[in-house]
Chain A
Amino acid sequence: MEQLTRYLFEHFSDRVWPRMAEHIMISGVSLLIALVIALPLGLALSRLQRFATPVLVLLGIVYTIPSFALFAFLVPFTGIGVRPAIIALVSYALVVLVRNTMVAFNSVDPAVKEAARGMGMSRIQILWRIEIPLALPIIVAGMRIAALSTIGLTTIAAWIGAGGMGQLLRDGMNDPTYSKLYAGIISIGAIAVVSDIIFRTISRLVSVPTGRRATQHAVLTTMEIKEA
């Protein structure tokens, strides 16, 4: 065991951390871009139901394409490196975020909205004070799934030259002690677990108080993590 983790500890700052930083950067930028697109798009689709199905079907097709294949489709257009990685990762994250944002806004009780309207709240007030706080738990649940998917898929992007933790796996394959490989695997797991903890914490913070703990879990499992 000590043998296996030696690389992780001895070379954390000079070999592991730079890869980790790349990894977090690629995942983080992809998630941010996806979020900026998905929040308004999901909100718009919840209001314009006619367009919801075609958009979701399109996104669903993209989501089904294996990531290694999608990277391969992009390389002829963009070359290798970070660009095709981010484009593919944004596409995948969009699916989850748009769907959850739409579901989140649709799930706000119409009676609550009617009461707000009847009390004289403006559209903007209803959006900010009522709809967004009530939609937030489901949106954050989507962010959690999107983040976990993105972090995993970023690893694969190393094979199209994007760097990140996958690079350690590539390099570590031929190292007979496998300590580099384990450093990579452990670090990827760590990033995923930390991200999961962060988003679970956020989702607790934004959850609508009910006096009892329920329904949260059901919401979290509605969307599958994209594994590959």
Chain B
Amino acid sequence: METTETLSTGSGTEERQHSITHRPSPTPAIAFEHVFKRFPSATQAAVDDVSLDVAEGDLVVLLGPSGCGKTTLLKMVNRLYEHDSGRVLIEGKEIRSFQINDLRRRIGYVIQSVGLFPHMTVAKNIATVPDMIGWDKARISSRTDELLDLVGLQPEEYRNRYPAQLSGGQQQRVGLARAMAADPTIMLMDEPFAAIDNITRRRLQDELIRIQSKVRKTILFVTHDVDEAIRLADKIAVMRAGKVLQYDTPLHILSAPADEFVADLTGSGDVLRRLSLLNIDLAMLPIQVAPANNYPTVRSGESLRDALNLLLGEASDVLSVVDEQGRPVGTIDMAAIRRMVHGE
């Protein structure tokens, strides 16, 4: 899990300045500016004046109950839905300035029901976009194998299978590979794991974390599953009735929910209570190399909630854990606390 370090840091403006791994990027990968959408038959807006920046390489989760507008917001990026007003930009360019199918071919798209083409083999499914944009055969075939490897399916075994010959989890792996085929910088994932059983879902989430650590896509990910959001997200946008209530890192949202709705939805009260019962030492990484730098320090034996407050307050990624005598004994970071949130 060497990667979760970066996962937890690519976020919030103040944190970003201290971030080691990310230079602040001037143009967000995806930007919504006062985006508004109402469906013709509806009285209420589906998306109501949403402004949101998604930084390059971040995995941003849109979280909220069904009907909150999260899927609508997502589908406006590849123009499966059109926004009524406001602007949607990718890499600084208004999405309507692209030819619509070019735009879609540049953006990876994964949906809950997967939508693999049943009459095509796994390889043909993955090759869809590369084929449309004119890659040659050799390049497509090596890319296909590379992607199958990446999503944890043996190319020799799965390349020539048909979707009906795969389990649900395997189908979604292929769906993921297909979305990444032409190496898009941006991926949209619409509840990709919602229809999959708990154990497989957990495994796929781990895979996604692993893959994301390698490929660093900008991912917009819709879910109604709070645990999934906390596990995967660099930042979470909590939505309700078409509005974004809070947009922040998972731990920020847990520790300082913007309002009661966010607190209830995320169950932040329970999480914080649990963290306050857990000792820092449980999540601490024992010191390997000698002196820790000038990280803020926290006393061994204090609770994880104290550590979290300090991390968020000091806007630092790492804390130095010291013993009674003030000698450094280890370090603790966001990733470690997040693992504890999940009870790992």
Q: Which residues of A contact B (CB under 8 A)?
A: 109, 111-122, 125, 129-130, 133-134, 208-212
18 pairs of residues in contact across A and B, judged by CB atoms under 8 Å: A111-B111, A111-B113, A113-B115, A115-B115, A116-B115, A116-B128, A118-B78, A118-B188, A119-B105, A119-B109, A119-B129, A119-B132, A120-B103, A120-B129, A120-B132, A133-B119, A134-B117, A209-B119
CA distance A7 to B103 in the complex (A): 70
Q: Is the CB of A208 within 8 A of B118?
A: yes
B102 is an interface residue with CB less than 8 A from chain A: yes
How many of chain B's residues touch chain A, expressed as a range?
20 to 34
Q: Is the CB of A115 within 8 A of B78?
A: no
Of B109, B113, B114, B162, the contact of A210 (CB 8 Å cutoff)? B162
Q: Is the CB of A118 within 8 A of B119?
A: no
Neighbouring B residues of A130 by C-beta, 8 Å: 117
Q: Closest approach, in angstroms, between the C-beta of A149 and any C-beta of chain B?
A: 28
Of A119, A125, A212, the contact of B164 (CB 8 Å cutoff)? A212
Scoring B129, B132, B178, B188 by chain A CB atoms within 10 A of each residue's CB, the highest score goes to: B132
Q: Is the CB of B164 within 8 A of A120?
A: no
Question: Knowing A125-B132, A210-B162, A212-B164 touch, does A120 contact B117 (C-beta < 8 A)?
Answer: no
Neighbouring A residues of B103 by C-beta, 8 Å: 120
Q: Which of B211-248 contact A (CB under 8 A)?
A: none
CA distance A119 to B125 in the complex (A): 11
Q: Is the CB of B104 within 8 A of A119?
A: yes
CA distance A113 to B111 in the complex (A): 11
Q: Is the CB of B116 within 8 A of A121?
A: no
Scoring B106, B117, B164 by chain A CB atoms within 10 A of each residue's CB, the highest score goes to: B117
Neighbouring A residues of B101 by C-beta, 8 Å: 120-122
Q: Closest approach, in angstroms, between the C-beta of B126 and any C-beta of chain A?
A: 11
CA distance A111 to B118 in the complex (A): 11
Q: Is the CB of B117 within 8 A of A112?
A: yes
Q: Is the CB of A114 within 8 A of B80?
A: yes
Of B111, B119, B162, the contact of A114 (CB 8 Å cutoff)? B111
CA distance A130 to B163 in the complex (A): 14
CA distance A97 to B112 in the complex (A): 34
CA distance A73 to B118 in the complex (A): 46
B165 is an interface residue with CB less than 8 A from chain A: yes
Scoring B116, B118, B164 by chain A CB atoms within 10 A of each residue's CB, the highest score goes to: B118
Of B100, B104, B114, the contact of A111 (CB 8 Å cutoff)? B114
CA distance A128 to B119 in the complex (A): 12
Q: Is the CB of B119 within 8 A of A134?
A: yes
Neighbouring A residues of B128 by C-beta, 8 Å: 116, 119, 121
Q: Is the CB of A112 within 8 A of B115?
A: yes
Neighbouring B residues of A208 by C-beta, 8 Å: 118-119
Neighbouring B residues of A116 by C-beta, 8 Å: 115, 117, 128
Neighbouring B residues of A112 by C-beta, 8 Å: 115-118
Neighbouring A residues of B80 by C-beta, 8 Å: 114, 117-118
Q: Closest approach, in angstroms, between the C-beta of A5 and any C-beta of chain B?
A: 45
Q: Is the CB of B104 within 8 A of A118?
A: yes
CA distance A133 to B175 in the complex (A): 20
CA distance A212 to B165 in the complex (A): 8
Neighbouring A residues of B106 by C-beta, 8 Å: 120
CA distance A120 to B186 in the complex (A): 14
Neighbouring B residues of A129 by C-beta, 8 Å: 117
Of B119, B132, B161, B178, the contact of A121 (CB 8 Å cutoff)? B132
Question: Knowing A112-B115, A117-B80 touch, does A209 contact B162 (C-beta < 8 A)?
Answer: yes
- B80-122: contact bitstring with A at CB < 8 Å (1 yes, 0 no)? 1000000000000000000011111110010111111111000
Neighbouring A residues of B115 by C-beta, 8 Å: 109, 111-116
Neighbouring B residues of A114 by C-beta, 8 Å: 80, 111, 115
CA distance A205 to B220 in the complex (A): 41
CB-CB nearest 4 A-B residue pairs: A115-B115, A120-B104, A111-B113, A120-B105
Q: Is the CB of A211 within 8 A of B104?
A: no
Of A109, A113, A117, A209, the contact of B104 (CB 8 Å cutoff)? A117
Scoring A116, A120, A210 by chain B CB atoms within 10 A of each residue's CB, the highest score goes to: A120
Q: Is the CB of A134 within 8 A of B118?
A: yes
